[in-house]
């Protein structure tokens, strides 16, 4: 048994169909690891909180922590909320909609140990990494967001907008204190800040598979917020 503890944060909004399976898969793929799963649900109208509480009864409240906010307040701030409950030495952040396969977590852990990385990020844009199931528009949004950020900010990471990552807990706490973003742009800002602070970042290629159940919450407003976030880095301080 690995003595280091891992806190896996799952932000959820209308994920009642996906939650039982992702939790089961995490538990299968984290065999012999010391871990907890923190579900951050924003009072989803589809009853995700109740599903989370039912799963907590099955697997125990040592393994599953259920928390959340009264209403949908954005992905970035959901992570920040979840971190407050994390008791692990490391924090893993991932989507709850099965687009991030839990089998990669052990690869992140192994890679982290090899060079004592501060952060290990899954990448869809290097090595064997890839995206499956997105339409052309969605692929273009992701590629363009990554490209613009790479060119303007040169953070030295191939996938800036992905959210499947492992952080040393103290590193994550320092990063979230310095981040101002609340929505999806949070992922990009975290990597840019990590570069500014000089944190070491390892990459593990991952396959991102688009969700089968439910809908993405990435809308026009999130894209606008992303562009606004980019502009912020160039605004005089
Ligand atoms: N608690 C909470 N959870 C949220 C919120 N918005 C989204 N989520 C949860 O965050 C995860 C990702 O949301 P999706 O809306 O399914 O993301 P996506 O469109 O598939 O986007 C993926 O790709 C983006 C770009 O590469 C990533 O930036 C994003 O994190 C995600 O991995 C899911 O578990 C979803 O329920 C929110 O406001 N509050």
ipTM score of the complex?
0.94
pLDDT of residue 236: 42
pLDDT of residue 237: 39
189 lines ligand 1 (CB under 6 A): no
Evaluate whether 54 touches 41 at the Cβ level (below 8 Å).
no
Cα 226 to Cα 220: distance, rounded to the nearest angstrom: 10
pLDDT of residue 208: 87
pLDDT of residue 152: 66
What's the structural domain count of the chain? 1
99 lines ligand 1 (CB under 6 A): yes
Q: In a 10 Å sphere around its CB, with 0-12 CB exposed, 13-18 middle and 19+ buried, how is residue 180 labelled?
A: exposed
Ligand 1 atom index nearest CA of 96:
34
191 lines ligand 1 (CB under 6 A): no
Cα 46 to Cα 181: distance, rounded to the nearest angstrom: 26
Evaluate whether 83 touches 91 at the Cβ level (below 8 Å).
yes
Beta bridge partner(s), residue 201: 119
Which residues, including other chains, have CB under 8 Å from residue 5's CB and lie 6 or more apart? 34, 35, 36, 87, 88, 89, 90
Nearest CA to ligand 1 atom 5: 75
Q: Report the CATH number that the domain containing residue 23 is assigned in CATH.
A: 3.90.550.10
Compute the distance from residue 31 Cα to the ligand 1 centre, in Å. Answer: 26
pLDDT of residue 222: 62
E-strand spans in the chain?
5-12, 34-41, 64-68, 90-93, 119-123, 130-132, 165-168, 201-205, 207-209
Compute the distance from residue 98 Cα to the ligand 1 centre, in Å. Answer: 11
Compute the distance from residue 60 Cα to the ligand 1 centre, in Å. Answer: 26
Mean pLDDT per block of 10 residues along the chain (237 residues) reads 89 96 97 97 97 98 96 90 96 95 97 97 91 79 75 75 94 90 77 91 92 69 66 52
Mutate which of 18, 69, 134, 163 to test ligand 1's pocket (most atoms within 8 Å of Cβ)?
Answer: 163
161 lines ligand 1 (CB under 6 A): yes
Boundaries of domain holding 223: 5-234
Residue 127 φ then ψ, to 5°: 50, -130
Compute the distance from residue 95 Cα to the ligand 1 centre, in Å. Answer: 6
163 lines ligand 1 (CB under 6 A): yes
pLDDT of residue 133: 78
E-strand spans in 112-187?
119-123, 130-132, 165-168
Evaluate whether 108 touches 26 at the Cβ level (below 8 Å).
no
187 lines ligand 1 (CB under 6 A): yes
125 lines ligand 1 (CB under 6 A): no
pLDDT of residue 2: 66
Question: Residues 73-82, buried b or exposed e (16+ Cβ, 10 A)?
Answer: bbbbbbbbbb
Residue 105 φ then ψ, to 5°: -60, -45
Compute the distance from residue 75 Cα to the ligand 1 centre, in Å. Answer: 6
pLDDT of residue 102: 97
11 lines ligand 1 (CB under 6 A): yes
């Amino acid at each position: 048994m690995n003595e280091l503890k891992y806190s896996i944060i799952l932000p959820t909004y209308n994920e009642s169909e996906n939650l039982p399976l992702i939790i089961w898969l995490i538990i299968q793929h984290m065999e012999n690891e010391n871990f907890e799963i923190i579900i951050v649900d924003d009072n989803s109208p589809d009853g995700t909180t109740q599903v989370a509480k039912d799963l907590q009864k099955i697997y125990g409240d040592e393994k599953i922590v259920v928390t959340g906010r009264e209403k949908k307040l954005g992905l970035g701030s959901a992570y920040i909320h979840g971190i407050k409950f994390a008791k692990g030495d490391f924090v893993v952040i991932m989507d709850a909609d099965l687009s991030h396969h839990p089998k990669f977590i052990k690869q992140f852990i192994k890679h982290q140990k090899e060079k004592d990385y501060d952060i290990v990020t899954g990448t869809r844009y290097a090595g064997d990494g890839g995206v499956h199931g997105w339409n052309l528009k969605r692929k273009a949004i992701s590629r363009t967001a990554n490209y613009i950020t790479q060119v303007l900010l040169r953070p030295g990471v191939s996938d800036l907008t992905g959210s499947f990552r492992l952080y040393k807990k103290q590193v994550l706490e320092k990063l979230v204190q310095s981040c101002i973003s609340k929505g999806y742009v949070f992922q990009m800002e975290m990597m840019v800040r990590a570069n500014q602070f000089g944190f070491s970042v390892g990459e593990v290629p991952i396959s991102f598979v688009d969700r089968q159940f439910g809908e993405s919450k990435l809308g026009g407003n999130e894209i606008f917020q992303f562009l606004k976030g980019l502009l912020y880095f160039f605004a005089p301080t």
